[in-house]
Chain A
Amino acid sequence: MSQVTLYSVAYTLSDDLLRAVGSILPAGPRGLVTSGTAVTALALLVFGAILLAASMLNTILLIWWERKLLGRFMDRRGAMHVGYAGLLQNFADGLKLFRKNTFQPREADSLGFYFGPTAYLATSLMIFGILPISSGWNAGSLPLTLLLALTIFSFAPLFIFVSAWSSNNKYSLMGGMRSAAQMIAYEVPLLLAVVAVVIVAGSFDLTTIVYEQQNYWFWGPLVVALIVFVAGMLAEMERIPFDLPEAEAELVEGWNTEYGGMLFAFFMLADYLRALVGSILVVLLFLGGWTLPTWVPGSLTSFPLAGIVWFMVKTYLVFGLFVWVRAALPRVRTDQLLRVGWNRMIPLALLSVFLAAVLVEVRCLPVFGCVPSAGV
């Protein structure tokens, strides 16, 4: 096998492991254990475990990155004391939340109260299975990866609303209502912006979209789509300036007011997972994914796992942009948010679709170069 992929790593690992286990077993069970089905099943498990660990680790690093950046924007230093430069602070915080008592309000509906955060976290994690991190580093290339990712991504308002409603708290309910209205309103421009990318790339497969950007990254010619997509993502991630579902000034903590301990940690983790997914999608759709422009010297792109490294660098930089926005802007009001969503974002998104169509027709741009012939 010429190229190392995540699945090939997992397969080799489980194959070696099962062979070792089989060698100490009698012939009957040995055949069962070392059979192709068993190896594949274990490989899938290992694959999932690696993805889970990687996504969790990255999420926690992302929180650290945000805390440090926010600290600097605010003229302070952020987390400092646990671990080097506060790197372990979030693990300590997680441990604290883990040790806390899980409680629910007496009048709350148990089923929804526990189902909401769990499903929210689970769906947020699901997306990582299909996002390509570097060539071959994903579960497999489906023709409709992008569509599937966005579909899973848009489950969230449902679970937020369920947990908000079952909390039986007025603030939670108001936060849930706001969240649902906001996410549904911004889903439309978000998808339209994606359509612009898809028109140019000619595929819903994220790997193909990345390879279509070898001549130029899409952020240049599709800058309108990028703006709409980033704004929509900010709204979907419920970050300032669009964090009104959990606007702490008026709604205490919004839809997660009644949650504490590990259930709150679920929400927190899922929020940052979604932020990570959002940053990854921006990198994949507009910033060339794990590739670098051709004028970059080869030594920068040829070392082992170079794709993953550059991908992470880009992702964290994009998230840094989100943090910058958070540090600089106030929160908008619900009606203003919805008005901007329906009256400004959707026309802009439609414009970006039109521009994409023009781009496909023209094929070559003066500064950026030509669209690869693989497009539509």
Chain B
Amino acid sequence: MWINMGPQHPMTHGLWNLRVRIDGELILDVDPEMGYLHRGIEKISEDRHYNEVITLMDRCCYVAGMAWEHLYILGAEQALAIRPPERAEYLRVLCDEFQRLGSHLMWYAAFVQDLGLMSPFLYGMRDRDLVLDLFQSYTGARMTYEYMRVGGVRNDLPPGFTERARKVLDWLVDRFREYDALCLGSTIFRKRCDDLGVLRANEAVALGVTGPMLRAAGMKRDLRKDRPYAAYDRLEFDVAVADAADVTARYLVRMEEMRQSVRILHQVLDWLDRNPGPVLADRLPRWLGAPYAPVGDEGYLLKRHYPKGLGFSSVEEPHGEAQAYVVNEGGQHPYRVKFRSPVFANISAAKSYLIGYRVADIPPIMGSVDVCVGEVDR
């Protein structure tokens, strides 16, 4: 019997369809269907100024907007041959890591709710709100930030931000202990999640699975270490790895990643306190400084005067490795933008970690994948 779990289904956490063939409670076959949330972001980007594309990046993944902004910005800067000031790089790491905290807290909430744990769901959402409050205090928005700019970031932190941020981090570290007590301390949780949704490293690599799912299979791969971008090469942190390759291992990896994020953030906050400076490169092309010029008004430069270039960037997004390819053929708009979504690959591998388990296992397994449909369909 085929059943459609989606496009409107509590398990999906978004808009996609998991077709499942079952025999009683046993899963015989699965067939993930994506594409319900396609908005043509890549195509629209071709028609926007470089800085206007940032708006679209926030909509790519609505729980990890900063990571996607960062991804695009890195590609665009490479294509335009612009370097940001050092303080902007640290600010971007700050954004990235707070975003990782926010995204993982959101994941925690959704994941435990799939298991029927009701209180931790609200604890996760409550604590994520603190992170969103911090975002709001320096970007003005809670989800769609539009904070990064080609050549830096939009504005510096408000006074008193670092103290407030440290307080939030201390609170979060305490809460992580509580989270572990509620999940790992529960026999039912261990019985539900151990040896569930196993995806071994060799298969994961073959299927292009990245991020916490790959690290939970024992593969020590993290772009922040392997191909450092922004200020990550100047910061100290460990890559979270687990061996069991099951749902519990993914839980452990994400919790450890949150702890590492806190560690990184403390270093970043200290650095930001010590090193004031500009947050936007001062020698930007004039046409970048006026990003909202009406479409068609190419300004004062002829097309051939613009620099040309290619940009490729890859970022360790909360869900996995995201990649961007930005082609600059001259002009105020990117000629072509292409993204690689980690969640797309992670969902597409569903056949190898769902078949053979039971219908009741689908929500925790898919929850441990951490689906964000916005970036899958773009």
Contact = CB atoms under 8 A, between A and B. Distances in A.
Nearest to A173: B1
Contacts of B186: 329-330
A170 B25 CA distance: 12
A240 B10 contact: no
Interface in B175-212: 182, 186, 188-189, 191-192
Nearest to A241: B188
Nearest to A174: B359
B240 interface: no
A234 to B, nearest CB: 12
Interface string A239-261: 01101100111111000000000
Given A170-B1, A330-B188, A335-B25, A250 B117 contact: no
A250 B5 contact: yes
Contacts of B9: 252
- The secondary-structure label for the interface of chain B is helix
B358 A334 contact: yes
B375 to A, nearest CB: 22
Interface stretch (A68-76, A99-107, A129-137): A68-76
A243 B122 contact: no
Nearest to B116: A331
B119 interface: yes
A330 B192 contact: yes
B349 interface: no
B363 interface: yes
A70 B10 contact: no
A329 B117 contact: yes
Query: Which residue among A244, A249, A251 has the maximum number of chain B CB atoms within 10 Å of its CB?
Result: A249
B370 interface: no
B55 interface: no
Contacts of B10: 248-250, 252
B363 A330 contact: no
A251 B362 CA distance: 10
Contact of B191 (A248, A334, A336): A336
Interface in B15-41: 25
Interface residues of A, number: 29
A327 B191 CA distance: 18
Contacts of B115: 249, 330-331
A240 B118 contact: yes
Nearest to B25: A334
B209 to A, nearest CB: 23
B77 interface: no
B69 interface: no
Given A74-B121, A331-B192, A331-B360, 15 more contacts: A75-B119, A170-B3, A174-B359, A241-B116, A244-B360, A249-B116, A250-B10, A250-B359, A252-B10, A328-B119, A330-B115, A330-B192, A331-B115, A333-B358, A336-B192
Interface of A: 70, 73-76, 170-171, 174, 240-241, 243-244, 247-252, 326-336
22 contacts: A75-B119, A75-B122, A75-B123, A76-B122, A170-B1, A170-B3, A241-B188, A249-B113, A249-B114, A250-B11, A250-B359, A329-B116, A329-B117, A330-B189, A330-B192, A332-B188, A332-B191, A332-B192, A333-B191, A333-B358, A333-B361, A336-B192
Top 5 A-B pairs, shortest CB-CB distance: A331-B116, A249-B363, A330-B115, A74-B122, A249-B114
Interface of B: 1, 3, 5, 9-11, 25, 112-119, 121-123, 126, 182, 186, 188-189, 191-192, 358-363
